[in-house]
Amino acid sequence: MRSTRALAALAVGVALTLTACGSDEQSNGAEESTSTTDHNDADVAFASDMIQHHAQALTMVDLTDNRPLDPQVQVLADDIRAAQGPEIDTMTEWLQDWDEEVPDAMSDDSESDMGDHDMSDMDGEMPGMMSPADMQSLEDATDAEFQDRWLAMMAEHHEGAIEMAQDEVENGQYEPAVELAGLIEAAQTREVATMNELQGQ
């Protein structure tokens, strides 16, 4: 009888333990799910940082104006401008809706130049960001040097954005932000491959 009771008690204990584990797993899964209304700190960081990251990319695109570019490079520059300006606007709206501070970055690419964006405090803080010295070297490059330098710098810049987007996909809660991060990761991965192919041609 004692053995039977002991076995029964053990079975109940195991069942309770498994039930508790299952509840924990379900709870964690719910916390990791995305929401169409709620956001978390990762979403705020993604929008805030990516606005500034995109702003520098638009500055780099503006530096291609009046430069001799191969047609494929011109298409890349145009595509970056067309995609990232509206993305800045979208992320700005999110931050405003969340009552979060919006970084001082211009979303109008026609006004995006090195004077509009104070990049001096962002060197090294975000992956792929160019330093003021890097940006100056690109602006000062000769026409013969410019295209390859621009491709190399923009590829590095994109790789940083891809890293930031992957972090949002893994940790973000706001579904539209997670979806945008996935689109950024896919688009910029394709563009990096194209840039690497075009360098030195």
**CA atoms of 156 and 105, how far apart (whole Å):** 20
Whether 20 and 94 have beta carbons less than 8 Å apart is answered as no
Residue ranges per domain, the chain? Answer: 1-33, 37-198
Residues of the chain with pLDDT under 50: 1-4, 6-31, 106-124
Token digits of residue 92:
């700005």
Tell me, letter by letter, the H, E, C secondary structure of 30-62.
HHHCCECCCCCHHHHHHHHHHHHHHHHHHHHHH
Cα(61)–Cα(78) distance, integer angstroms? 8
What is the tens place of the pLDDT at every residue in 17-71?
Answer: 444 444 444 333 334 689 999 999 999 999 999 999 999 999 999 999 999 999 9
Rounded Cα distance, 100 and 96, in Å: 6
Q: Are 114 and 60 in contact (CB under 8 A)?
A: no
**37-198 topology per CATH:** Ferritin (1.20.1260)
Global pTM?
A: 0.77
Please give the pLDDT value at position 98. Answer: 98
